[in-house]
């Protein structure tokens, strides 16, 4: 457990929502009304991509093929992200409530929670919660007296690959194969686990689902911005005085957030983990929201003395290691970018080659098979854009 | 057509799956199939069936999209990304091979973004490809080389692989040069999905991904069946059949050697492709001339021993049935399995060793010929068998392994010295400046003479079965086959379906012909009997049949089953010209059946050379002592794990 959570977890909204409250309220509604409520709440996925949860559920609900599956993505692999761990540790019931609500909405008979390998120590804890829920009738047959609503949950362990957080790689891994992303379409809502309609939601998304039914759609929507409703958990780390898990409404500016955590002198902030973008000081007035600077919640603060080249190197090094190695742009492109950064460090990268690398990065962003390769060069490109002189080893012009 | 709801073929053992349920997927909803959708490709509007991929749709209007990891015979991977196209309204480019059209989308296949992406992808692939084109087996027939040319690659922008890893040439059949591998995984999908053997897998992540055998062992020491289907689908020169052509040239050049060649039917229906002819153009008789000019003393037709195989194998079947049905011998293994496909034989030895007794002990036509060349032929010609070099032209890479099986020396020498593939002989012809299609025609040489059609159709799936049935039916009924089947064509066993089943009832029986008189007293026991036969081609289909037999299902009631390791049978063999596809294989099959129609003798036992050899040499008849010594063999329980 992180020892440095400033706002203690009792201060999070999740602490004020009793287990099974949202679930019971949701199960009193019809399936259509559940989905409508989620639609109206404007809840968007907290896993990074920000896909509207109501739309996703609706697509899966419309599929006629059964069985269907409700999958919770607890792979939390994005560097600098640790909010799902807090939720799983402190508020697991909310997550299972959210999964059960989703299962009811789409007509799933089984839920699967895919747990990050490094969170293996939480496995027993979660199994105990599931066992308790089975005993109290929150899982099993005819849940909440709804005839035919049979639903159970399995917990599956990941094996340590970052890419398995990508939903189709996660499914492959669940099925026992190499964790490699699938071609999309078909999307999981049509053909997911074992080829059946499946919804994959992030841990935090599901916990918010439970809150929305407990506290109401209006309550949820009253926070955040128009396009990014509600609160969001942030995992904040790096060069700041009070790193930890925080809850803020969407739309908070980078500057305000830095003030809260004691990181005002930051030179730049990496938003959205390794796959996110690097926001320089000059853009600290920008808002953290899907319509401005999107994020899955990871914020890494870089202090004034940080070497931006080293940061680019560090991030690319991560992707070189974590690419599943399936498709050409990502498998071979990331090593070329990494090598490019090393050449920059050594002063052997010509401007023309740097240009080639930028073109390569653009190709990786549009031609890679999955989100990993499509985003791995985002940080590199934004560092190049905002810290060109530093990266090229030039003295700034006076 | 890819249905958007189908699950791709699975690649791992079921036991490995986390599977809360395994009921079969419900059938696709009626009404969605056959629906058409309008799509605009590069400004051209066209209608395609729902679920057609962008690649297929583009092809249908003559727009070529480059591909590398795509192969028409294989599951879609969508990983090389060379086929990316722009779909209007989408942020990212889409892989044309993997994108099913379900909406009226607008596509651009060569926009600036697409061209830049393709060039970058190509440059990346070249950076890990040790492309010494002029010293490569695939020079001139390499998909990567063609793309580099098409996209005007003029430098190795992202570097070039210099440090070679050792080439694995441990196998008798398949050589793996991983310095040329571009990780398209066509071989992996061929071996696991198409053939369901599974000796390759992608291991590791990122740029450390490599295609390896189990624990990266040499190919010789894993359960590779040598079928060479991976070779036929490798886009580069990473996989090729182990060359024998240099050794053959050397033998031809040696005046002390008497070099002969037997040619199998399938290469003759495909050699034209090596000279740019349309698939399905037969060049049998032109090739005879070219081979003689090249320096082979004699050219023989493998059909001769195909006929011999039919007689021996058919007799073996009759004997098995007689023992089981009349003598009540319960130890007789039935159904009898064919054994002329060395890929299938090795597959059975690895994966179904408990069924080895079911394999016909009759050798394959190649090996029967080998044994006779260095005995019967050498004797007849007054040659020292040690000076005879016996070469076999085969559509097959597994034949190279087969002729090296240690037990294949019943003549006292190595029965067949070298197996050549269609591709290798094609390059030998070119080296000798022999343009096969324009050669004058000439016939095969005595003493083995021309062939029967029965032997010829061995090349296509179902051919061995049809040949065997023609012979057995006529021998048993005493009636001309043509009075039972029109033209004597046993249509029920023909076709390209992966698994086929047929029943033939024997209504009447005739006298036992003299050639079999020493084995059975009469045919009364077969009167009214129903002969049940099955055919499977491609080891994935073979597996289906074997699993059913093992479970005591439908196929376990069969009397005779034909198995071919390669999809389509020999004409789709691992030594045939590249590329391959369903259409190409069908064209070759048409050529074989077409040529067969022109032959006078279409039944093995009517082949005068066959009659003569039983009179002159194999005097104790089919399955007799001498034939057992020379024409039959045994098998090895190999299991899946090799030390
Ligand atoms: C490389 C990669 C890694 C990802 N890792 C995670 C992860 O660890 N946790 C997560 O919830 N989503 C992750 N995602 C996003 C998922 O693919 C998916 O969009 C998400 O789980 C959907 O849930 P949501 O709609 O509730 O956000 C990842 C995506 C990519 C491309
Ligand atoms: S982009 Fe990277 S991680 Fe994603 S499929 Fe391609 S190689 Fe794998």
CA distance A179 to chain B (A): 10
Chain B residues with CB-CB distance to A195 below 8 A: 5-7, 25
**Residues in B 158-177 with any Cβ partner in A closer than 8 A:** 158
pLDDT at A379 over 50: yes
Instruction: State the DSSP H helix or E strand holding residue A38, giving kind and residue range, or none if neither.
Output: helix A31-41
Residue-wise pLDDT tens digits, A75-87: 999 999 999 999 9
Residue keyed to tokens 């409520």: A37
Instruction: Give φ, ψ of A323 to 5 degrees.
Output: -55, 135
pLDDT at A6 over 80: no
Contact (CB<8Å) A369/B84: no
Of all ligands present, the nearest one to the C-alpha of A294 is 1
Which residue CA neighbors atom 2 of ligand 1 most closely?
Answer: A166
B245-302+366-438 is classed CATH 3.40.50.1780:
yes
- The SS3 call for residue B75 is coil
CB–CB of B299/B261 below 8 Å? yes
Q: For residue B603, indicate whether it is catalytic.
A: no
Instruction: Give φ, ψ of B522 to 5 degrees.
Output: -160, 180
Which DSSP string corresponds to A233-273? EEEEEESSSS-EEEEEETT-BHHHHHHHHT-TT-SEEEESG
Residue-wise pLDDT tens digits, A263-315: 999 999 999 999 999 999 999 999 999 999 999 999 999 999 999 999 999 99
Which residue CA neighbors atom 1 of ligand 2 most closely?
Answer: A373
Q: For residue B399, indicate whether it is catalytic.
A: yes
CATH superfamily of B305-364+450-635: Fe-only Hydrogenase (Larger Subunit); Chain L, domain 3 (3.40.950.10)
The tally of CA atoms less than 13 A away on the side-chain side of residue A297 is 29
**What is the C-alpha to C-alpha distance for residues B555 and B561, in angstroms, rounded to an integer?**
9
- Predicted local confidence at residue B451, as pLDDT: 60
pLDDT at B11 over 90: no
* Closest Cα in chain A to B183: A326
Cβ of A163 closer than 6 Å to ligand 2, yes or no, is: yes
Rounded (10°) angle between helices B463-477 and B303-325: 60
Cα A296 to ligand 1 centroid, rounded to whole Å: 9
Instruction: State the DSSP H helix or E strand holding residue B182, giving kind and residue range, or none if neither.
Output: none
Q: For residue B313, indicate whether it is catalytic.
A: yes
CATH code assigned to A231-302: 3.10.20.600
Binned at pLDDT 50, 70 and 90, residue B23 comes out as: very low
pLDDT at A5 over 70: no
Nearest to A325 among B10, B113, B206 (CB): B206
CA distance A113 to chain B (A): 13
Q: Looking at the DSSP assignment, which residues form a beta bridge with residue A199?
A: A70
Instruction: Give me the mean pLDDT over the A156-179 stretch.
Output: 95
**What is the C-alpha to C-alpha distance for residues B534 and B497, in angstroms, rounded to an integer?**
11
Q: Of residues B608 and A116, which shows the higher confidence score? A: A116
CA distance B115 to chain A (A): 10
Q: Which atom of ligand 2 lies nearest, measured to the CA of A163?
A: 3
CA distance A379 to chain B (A): 18
- The SS3 call for residue A231 is strand
Residue-wise pLDDT tens digits, B500-519: 999 999 999 999 998 888 88
Contact (CB<8Å) A332/B125: yes
- Predicted local confidence at residue B518, as pLDDT: 85
CA distance A3 to chain B (A): 34
Nearest to A332 among B98, B102, B207 (CB): B207
Give the tokens for residue B158.
Answer: 């992202």
Residue keyed to tokens 């199939």: B33
pLDDT at B19 over 70: no
Q: Where are the domains of chain B?
A: 245-302+366-438, 305-364+450-635
Give the tokens for residue B165.
Answer: 């890893």
**What is the C-alpha to C-alpha distance for residues B242 and B177, in angstroms, rounded to an integer?**
11
CATH code assigned to A11-221: 3.40.50.11540
* Total residue length of chain B: 643
**What is the C-alpha to C-alpha distance for residues B495 and B66, in angstroms, rounded to an integer?**
32
Q: Where are the domains of chain A?
A: 11-221, 231-302, 308-392
Instruction: Give φ, ψ of B479 to 5 degrees.
Output: -105, 155
- Asked if B220 reaches chain A (Cβ–Cβ under 8 Å), the answer is no
Query: Percentage of chain A surpassing pLDDT 90?
Result: 95
CB–CB of B358/B336 below 8 Å? yes
CB–CB of A115/A122 below 8 Å? yes
CB–CB of A297/A207 below 8 Å? no
Chain B residues with CB-CB distance to A156 below 8 A: 18
- Predicted local confidence at residue A397, as pLDDT: 62
Residue-wise pLDDT tens digits, B39-91: 999 999 999 999 999 999 999 999 999 999 999 999 999 999 999 999 999 99
Binned at pLDDT 50, 70 and 90, residue B32 comes out as: low
Nearest to B100 among A161, A177, A185 (CB): A185
- Predicted local confidence at residue B1, as pLDDT: 38
CB–CB of B536/B545 below 8 Å? yes
**What is the C-alpha to C-alpha distance for residues A207 and A98, in angstroms, rounded to an integer?**
6
Give the tokens for residue B27.
Answer: 């059938």
Q: Which atom of ligand 2 lies nearest, measured to the CA of A364?
A: 1
Residue-wise pLDDT tens digits, B347-406: 999 999 999 999 999 999 999 999 999 999 999 999 999 999 999 999 999 999 999 999
Cβ of A332 closer than 6 Å to ligand 2, yes or no, is: no
CB–CB of A111/A198 below 8 Å? no
Contact (CB<8Å) A366/B127: no
- Asked if B116 reaches chain A (Cβ–Cβ under 8 Å), the answer is yes
**What is the C-alpha to C-alpha distance for residues A274 and B290, in angstroms, rounded to an integer?**
64
Binned at pLDDT 50, 70 and 90, residue B93 comes out as: very high
What's the distance, CA A296 to chain centroid?
4
Catalytic pick from B227, B234, B340, B623? B340
Give the tokens for residue A17.
Answer: 């929502």
Residues in CB range of B497: below 8 A, 6 or more apart: none
Cβ of A184 closer than 6 Å to ligand 2, yes or no, is: no
Backbone Cα Rg of chain B: 26
CB–CB of B369/B391 below 8 Å? no
**Among B117, B184, B198, which would you mutate to test the A interface (most chain A Cβ atoms within 10 Å of its Cβ)?**
B117
Nearest CA-CA partner of B638 in B362, B336, B337, B224:
B224
Instruction: Give me the mean pLDDT over the B469-479 stretch.
Output: 89
Residue-wise pLDDT tens digits, B528-564: 999 999 999 999 999 999 999 999 999 999 999 999 9
Cα A85 to ligand 1 centroid, rounded to whole Å: 15
Q: For residue B524, indicate whether it is catalytic.
A: no
B326: number of Cβ within 10 Å? 13
Catalytic pick from B143, B316, B424, B596? B316
Contact (CB<8Å) B79/A369: yes
Which residue CA neighbors atom 4 of ligand 2 most closely?
Answer: A370
Residues in CB range of A78: below 8 A, 6 or more apart: A48, A162, A165, A272, A273, A274, A275, A296, A298
Give the tokens for residue B327.
Answer: 């003598």
- DSSP summary character for residue A107: T
pLDDT at B296 over 80: yes
Binned at pLDDT 50, 70 and 90, residue B488 comes out as: confident
Of all ligands present, the nearest one to the C-alpha of B81 is 2
Indicate the pairing of strand B530-537 with strand B560-564: parallel
Binned at pLDDT 50, 70 and 90, residue B631 comes out as: very high
Binned at pLDDT 50, 70 and 90, residue B13 comes out as: very low
Q: What is the mean pLDDT of chain B?
A: 91
Cβ of A372 closer than 6 Å to ligand 2, yes or no, is: yes
**What is the C-alpha to C-alpha distance for residues A123 and A115, in angstroms, rounded to an integer?**
8
- DSSP summary character for residue B300: E
Catalytic pick from B128, B313, B595, B596? B313
* Closest Cα in chain A to B185: A326
Query: Percentage of chain B surpassing pLDDT 70?
Result: 94
**What is the C-alpha to C-alpha distance for residues B618 and B609, in angstroms, rounded to an integer?**
12
- Predicted local confidence at residue B142, as pLDDT: 97
Which of these CATH numbers, 1.10.1060.10, 1.20.1440.230, 3.40.50.720, 1.20.58.2030, describes A308-392?
1.20.1440.230
Catalytic pick from B399, B558, B566, B595? B399
Chain A residues with CB-CB distance to B6 below 8 A: 191, 195
Instruction: Identify the sign of the CA torsion B269, B271, B274, B275.
Output: negative
- Predicted local confidence at residue B33, as pLDDT: 56
């Amino acid at each position: 457990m992180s020892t440095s959570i400033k706002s203690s977890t009792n201060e999070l909204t999740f602490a004020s929502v009793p287990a099974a409250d949202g679930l019971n309220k949701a199960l009193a509604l019809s399936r259509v009304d559940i989905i409508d409520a989620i639609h109206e709440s404007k809840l968007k996925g907290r896993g990074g991509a920000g896909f509207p949860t109501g739309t996703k559920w609706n697509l899966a609900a419309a599929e006629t093929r059964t069985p269907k599956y409700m999958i919770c993505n607890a792979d939390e692999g994005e560097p600098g992200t640790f909010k799902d761990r807090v939720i799983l540790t402190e508020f697991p019931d909310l997550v299972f409530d959210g999964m059960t609500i989703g299962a009811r909405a789409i007509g799933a008979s089984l839920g699967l929670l895919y747990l990050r390998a490094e969170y293996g120590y939480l496995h027993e804890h979660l199994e105990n919660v599931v066992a308790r829920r089975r005993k109290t009738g929150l899982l099993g047959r005819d849940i909440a007296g709804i005839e035919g609503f049979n639903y159970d949950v399995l917990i599956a362990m990941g094996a340590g690959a970052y890419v398995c957080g990508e939903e189709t790689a996660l499914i492959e891994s669940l099925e026992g194969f190499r964790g490699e992303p699938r071609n999309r379409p078909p999307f999981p809502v049509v053909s997911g686990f074992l080829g059946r309609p499946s919804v994959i939601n992030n841990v935090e998304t599901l916990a918010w689902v439970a809150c929305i039914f407990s506290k109401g759609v209006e309550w949820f929507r009253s926070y955040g911005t128009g396009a990014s409703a509600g609160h969001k958990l942030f995992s904040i780390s790096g060069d700041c005085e009070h790193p930890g898990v925080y809850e803020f409404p969407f739309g908070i500016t980078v500057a305000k957030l830095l003030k809260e955590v004691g990181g005002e002198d930051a030179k730049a902030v990496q938003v959205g983990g390794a796959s996110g973008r690097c926001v320089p000081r000059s853009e600290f007035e920008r808002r953290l929201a899907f319509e401005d600077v999107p994020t899955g919640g990871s914020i890494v603060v870089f202090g004034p003395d940080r070497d931006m080249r080293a940061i680019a190197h560090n991030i690319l090094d991560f992707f070189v290691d974590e690419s599943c190695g399936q498709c050409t742009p990502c498998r071979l492109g990331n090593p070329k970018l990494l090598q490019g950064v090393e050449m920059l460090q050594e002063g052997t990268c010509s401007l023309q080659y740097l240009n080639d690398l930028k073109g390569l990065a653009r190709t990786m962003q549009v031609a890679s098979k999955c989100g990993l390769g499509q985003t791995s060069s985002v940080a590199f490109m934004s560092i190049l854009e905002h810290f060109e002189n530093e990266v090229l080893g030039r003295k700034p012009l006076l | 057509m890819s249905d958007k709801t189908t699950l791709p073929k699975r690649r791992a053992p079921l036991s490995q799956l986390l599977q809360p349920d395994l009921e079969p997927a419900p059938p696709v909803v009626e009404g969605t199939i056959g629906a058409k959708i309008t799509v605009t490709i590069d400004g051209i509007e066209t209608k395609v069936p729902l679920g057609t991929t962008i690649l297929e749709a583009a092809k249908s209007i003559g727009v070529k999209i480059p591909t590398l990891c795509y192969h028409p015979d294989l599951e879609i991977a969508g990983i090389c990304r060379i086929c990316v196209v722009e779909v209007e309204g989408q942020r990212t480019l889409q892989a044309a091979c993997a994108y099913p059209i379900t909406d009226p989308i607008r596509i651009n296949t060569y926009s600036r973004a697409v061209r830049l992406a393709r060039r970058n992808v190509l440059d990346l692939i070249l950076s890990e490809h040790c492309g010494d084109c002029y010293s490569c087996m695939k020079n001139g027939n390499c998909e990567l080389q063609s793309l580099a040319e098409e996209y005007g690659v003029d430098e190795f922008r992202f570097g070039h692989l210099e440090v070679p890893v050792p080439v694995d040439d441990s196998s008798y059949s398949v050589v793996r040069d991983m310095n040329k591998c571009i990780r398209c995984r066509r071989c992996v999908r061929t071996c696991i999905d198409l053939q369901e053997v599974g000796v390759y897998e992608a291991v590791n992540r990122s740029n450390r991904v490599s295609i390896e055998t189990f624990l990266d062992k040499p190919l010789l020491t894993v359960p590779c069946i040598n079928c060479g289907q991976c070779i036929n689908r490798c886009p580069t020169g990473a996989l090729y059949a182990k060359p024998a052509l240099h050794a053959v040239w050397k033998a031809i050049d040696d005046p002390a050697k008497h070099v002969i060649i037997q040619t199998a039917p399938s290469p003759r229906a495909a050699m034209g492709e090596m000279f740019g002819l349309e698939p399905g153009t037969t060049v049998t008789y032109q090739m005879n001339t070219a081979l003689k000019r090249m320096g082979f003393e004699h050219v023989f037709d493998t059909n001769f021993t195909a006929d011999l195989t039919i007689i021996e194998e058919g007799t073996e079947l009759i004997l098995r049935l007689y023992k089981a049905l009349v003598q009540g011998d319960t130890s007789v293994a039935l159904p009898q399995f064919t054994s002329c496909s060395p890929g299938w034989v090795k597959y059975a030895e690895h994966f179904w060793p408990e069924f080895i007794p079911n394999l016909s002990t009759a050798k394959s036509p190649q090996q029967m010929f080998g044994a006779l060349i260095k005995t019967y032929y050498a004797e007849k010609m007054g040659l020292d068998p040690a000076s005879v070099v016996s070469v076999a032209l085969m559509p097959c890479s597994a034949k190279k392994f087969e002729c090296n099986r240690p037990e294949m020396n019943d003549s006292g020498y190595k029965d067949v010295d070298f197996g050549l593939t269609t591709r290798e002989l094609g390059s030998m012809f070119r080296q000798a400046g022999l343009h096969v299609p324009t050669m004058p025609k000439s016939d095969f040489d005595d003493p083995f003479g021309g062939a029967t059609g029965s032997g010829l159709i061995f090349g296509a799936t179902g051919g061995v079965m049809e040949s065997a049935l023609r012979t057995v039916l006529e021998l048993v009924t005493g009636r001309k086959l043509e009075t039972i089947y029109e033209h004597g064509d046993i249509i029920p066993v023909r076709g390209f379906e992966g698994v086929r089943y047929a029943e033939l009832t024997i209504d009447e029986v005739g006298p036992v012909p003299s050639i079999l008189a020493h084995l059975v007293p009469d045919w009364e026991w077969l009167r009214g009997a129903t002969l049940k036969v099955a055919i499977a081609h491609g080891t994935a289909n073979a597996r289906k049949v074997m699993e059913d037999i093992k479970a005591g299902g439908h196929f376990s009631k069969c009397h005779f089953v034909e198995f071919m390791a390669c999809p389509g049978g020999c004409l789709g063999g691992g030594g045939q010209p590249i590329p391959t596809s369903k259409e190409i294989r069908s064209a070759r099959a048409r050529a074989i059946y077409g040529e067969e129609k022109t032959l006078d003798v279409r039944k093995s036992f009517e082949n005068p050379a066959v009659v003569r050899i039983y009179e002159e040499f194999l005097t104790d008849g089919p399955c007799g002592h001498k034939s057992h010594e020379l024409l039959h063999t045994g098998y090895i329980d190999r299991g899946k794990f090799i030390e």
